[in-house]
Each structure stands twice: as C-alpha cells, then as structure tokens.
C-alpha cells in the first residue's frame, strides 16, 4: 500500500495548500539570538525585530503571547493593523509592568506603539486588548476580490471609513491580481486609510507569484479568533480545497464556536451558487463533508468571495453569502457591481445580519 501511494505521489499533486498550512504554524514564532517571541495561535505576524524591539502585524482584534528578552533596556512594541482602542498589557511572572504609549510621527489610527522596561533573561507575557461587550450588537465589514482595481480601492474604503460603528473589516482573498510583493505592499499601504484594522485570508490570485508571499505580509491563511461574543474563522481555500492539516484545527475551532455566534469565511466557496460554473471546491465530496462539519458545529453564517457578484443562498442549511465586489472584472447581467457587506452581529441572539453597500462607480 505504501509503495502504491509513493508511486501515486510522484505522478502528481493532491496536497496543494499543505505547504501554506505548514507556513501558518511558523507565523508569530521567533527564536533569534536577541529575542524569542511566541504569539498565541499565530495571530500576529512578526514584521521585524531588534534586540529591544518587536513589530507585529495583527490578524485579530486581540493578541496574546510571550517575549523572552536577552538584553536589558527599554523595549519598543509596535503593532500594525491594530484596533482603535488596542491596549497593551505586559506582566512579568504575574506582576504587571508599566507600559507607555509612544506617539508615532505621521502614524495612522491602526498603528500603535508602546514602550516598557525589560531585563535580560526574563520572559514577559503580553496581551493586546480591545473592548467589545459580548451582550451588545456591533458591526464589521466583509469584502473580497479587489484584484486589478487597486487604484480604485479607496472607492470602497471611503464609505467603509464613514461608518463609525464598524470595528474591523475582513477580506476573504484576492487582494491582488498576482500576489506579488509590490501588489501586497501596495494593498497594505492602502489599508492605512481605514480607521479600523482589516484581517485577511488569501485567494487564488495571491498564489500567482509564490505559495507563501501572502504569509510574509499578512500572516496566517487559516486562523480563528473570538471577539465581542462571536467567533470568526478564516480559512485558506485558495486552491479549491482545505489542506489536510487544517481539518484538525477546524474541528477545534468549530467546537470552540459551538455555543457562540460563529462566522466561517474563505475565498473559494465549498459549493458555488451556480453549480454549472463550479467556482467552488474541486471535490463535491469534500465540500459536502466540510459543510456537514460546519453544520454539526452550529456555524451561523458563511461568507465567501471568488465569484464576482453578490449572492445569498444556503449551504447545508447555513446561510451563505458571496461578496466578490471588490473591483475584479464584474459578473455581467447580475444587477450589481462593486460592493461590500456591513454585517451586524448580535452575540446574544447568535445572529449575523449582512447588508449590501454599493460602491460608486460600480464598474
């Protein structure tokens, strides 16, 4: 049997996405000669570090982890893609350390900096907190498929920024046309116009110039976090499948979200609203298995991209929405062009209610 499988493996590739899943596990982990860092659940990408400095890109509203310092001095903690009310707390063996907010020259609302004193050889536990009641309704934004319209992405961001009730945005892939370093750099710089963070997973277009270039900018493709009484799970379905290691993580995330409002978001949907097109998982059998898992885990809503239109349908009885109106070549004759979704979360009722916001110009 092993010989047969070995022969099979030589003849082609079924493990697309596995390399990216392995890369996920490296996100937020650092063990250099100056510094050791571990961000819990890989929810922050380490952009840079020095002996006494760390710069993270957040992939969730709240972060936690530990930093092992090897030099005594004043440590500078930079956080990009941060919540407006992000607050850093640091403790040393349970004792709180005083942190100082450091203003950033020409800094944007989502860029935060703190400083605190550290001693060599000690390990510090940090948490970045953001307050959102688990009893009150709140709002986030979902969008996808900007691709070639990066020059017009501010047409989307401007109306998003006007809504002061929005806590963060989620993008389910195809931020760029080819996923090049230049395109990803540009997208990240455009995000600075938003007064709230944007947490991203990747789409098939991000794979145009390397499997894990996206990870070098945004962090994990598969991740899950809780905020405001709800769970958010973003998955990497950019190769029309869920990679084998991710199924085990998904089991855990689904279990954790069972008693909460739970959103699952990814780029390529398990099943396309139009089966003829099959802008969906490559295997229907895998799609059915995946949806059964979500259904058993009482997932409340699924949001996808990839198809350049808006569609509301149902998969395994779970409400499903496609929002692919970020600017890629629009689907014709569907009556809708560029758009994004505002989604109202009611944690007590465990509901998500999306509302379409059209963007002008639509094409």
Residue 99, token pair as written in the block: 């942190």
Between residues 1 and 98, which has the closer beta carbon with respect to other proteins? 1
Q: What are the strands, taking DSSP E only, across 59-134?
A: 63-69, 73-80, 87-92, 95-97, 100-101, 112-118, 123-129
Between residues 6 and 98, which has the closer beta carbon with respect to other proteins? 6
User: Interface mask (CB under 8 A) for other proteins, residues 268-297, using x and -?
Assistant: x--xx-xxxxxxxxxxxxx-xx-xx--xx-
Between residues 81 and 239, which has the closer beta carbon with respect to other proteins? 239
CA atoms within 13 A on the CB side of 330: 19
CB of 224 to other proteins, least distance (A): 19
2 binds other proteins (CB under 8 A): no
Residues 176-215 interacting with other proteins (rule: CB under 8 A): 204-205, 207-208, 211
97 binds other proteins (CB under 8 A): no
- Tell me the site size for other proteins, rule CB under 8 A: 58
CB of 292 to other proteins, least distance (A): 5
Between residues 140 and 281, which has the closer beta carbon with respect to other proteins? 281
317 binds other proteins (CB under 8 A): yes
Residue 2 burial class via C-beta count within 10 angstroms: exposed 0-12, middle 13-18, buried 19 and up: exposed
Near other proteins by CB under 8 A: residue from 331, 341, 343, 345: 331
Near other proteins by CB under 8 A: residue from 25, 334, 349, 362: 334
Near other proteins by CB under 8 A: residue from 58, 316, 345, 359: 316
How far lies 235's CA from each of 68, 246, 263, in Å?
A: 30, 8, 11
Are residues 306 and 322 in contact, defined by beta-carbon separation less than 8 angstroms?
yes
Residue 126, token pair as written in the block: 């940090």
Please report, to the nearest 10 degrees, the dihedral formed by the alpha carbons of residues 325, 281, 203, 250 taken in order.
Answer: 110
CB of 185 to other proteins, least distance (A): 21
358 binds other proteins (CB under 8 A): no
C-beta neighbour count of 116 within 10 angstroms: 17
Binding site residues, other proteins, CB under 8 A: 4-5, 8, 11-17, 204-205, 207-208, 211, 238-242, 244, 247, 268, 271-272, 274-286, 288-289, 291-292, 295-296, 306-309, 314-317, 329-334
């Amino acid at each position: 049997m092993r010989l047969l499988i070995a022969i099979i493996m030589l003849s082609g590739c079924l493990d697309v996405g596995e390399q990216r899943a392995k890369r996920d596990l490296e996100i937020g982990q650092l063990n250099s000669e100056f510094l050791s860092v571990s961000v819990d659940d890989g929810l922050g990408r380490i952009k840079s570090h020095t002996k006494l400095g760390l710069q993270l890109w957040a992939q969730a509203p709240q972060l936690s982890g530990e930093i092992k310092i090897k030099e005594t001095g004043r440590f500078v903690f930079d956080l990009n893609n941060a919540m407006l009310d992000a607050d850093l707390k640091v403790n040393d063996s349970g004792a709180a350390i005083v942190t100082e907010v450091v203003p950033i020259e020409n800094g944007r609302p989502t860029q935060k900096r703190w400083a605190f004193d550290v001693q060599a050889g000690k390990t510090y536990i940090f948490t970045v907190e953001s307050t959102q009641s688990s009893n009150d309704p709140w709002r986030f934004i979902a969008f996808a498929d900007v691709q070639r319209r990066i020059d017009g992405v501010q047409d989307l961001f401007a109306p998003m920024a006007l809504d002061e009730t929005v806590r963060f945005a989620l993008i389910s892939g195809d931020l760029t046309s080819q996923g090049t370093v230049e395109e990803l750099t540009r997208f990240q710089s455009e995000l600075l116009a938003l007064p709230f963070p944007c947490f991203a997973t990747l789409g098939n277009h991000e794979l145009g110039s390397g499997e894990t270039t996206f990870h070098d900018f945004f962090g994990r493709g598969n991740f899950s976090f809780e905020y405001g009484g709800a769970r958010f799970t973003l998955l990497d379905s950019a190769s029309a499948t869920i990679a084998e290691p991710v199924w085990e993580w998904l089991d855990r995330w689904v279990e954790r979200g069972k008693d909460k409002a739970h959103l699952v978001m990814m780029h390529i949907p398990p099943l396309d609203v139009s089966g003829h097109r099959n802008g969906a998982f490559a295997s229907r059998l895998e799609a059915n298995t995946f949806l059964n898992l979500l259904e058993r885990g009482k997932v409340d809503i699924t949001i996808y991209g990839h198809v350049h239109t808006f569609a509301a349908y149902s998969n395994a009885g779970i409400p499903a929405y496609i929002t692919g109106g970020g600017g890629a070549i629009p689907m014709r004759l569907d009556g809708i062009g560029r758009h994004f979704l505002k989604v109202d979360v009611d944690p007590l009722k465990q509901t998500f209610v999306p509302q379409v916001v059209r963007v002008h110009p639509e094409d």
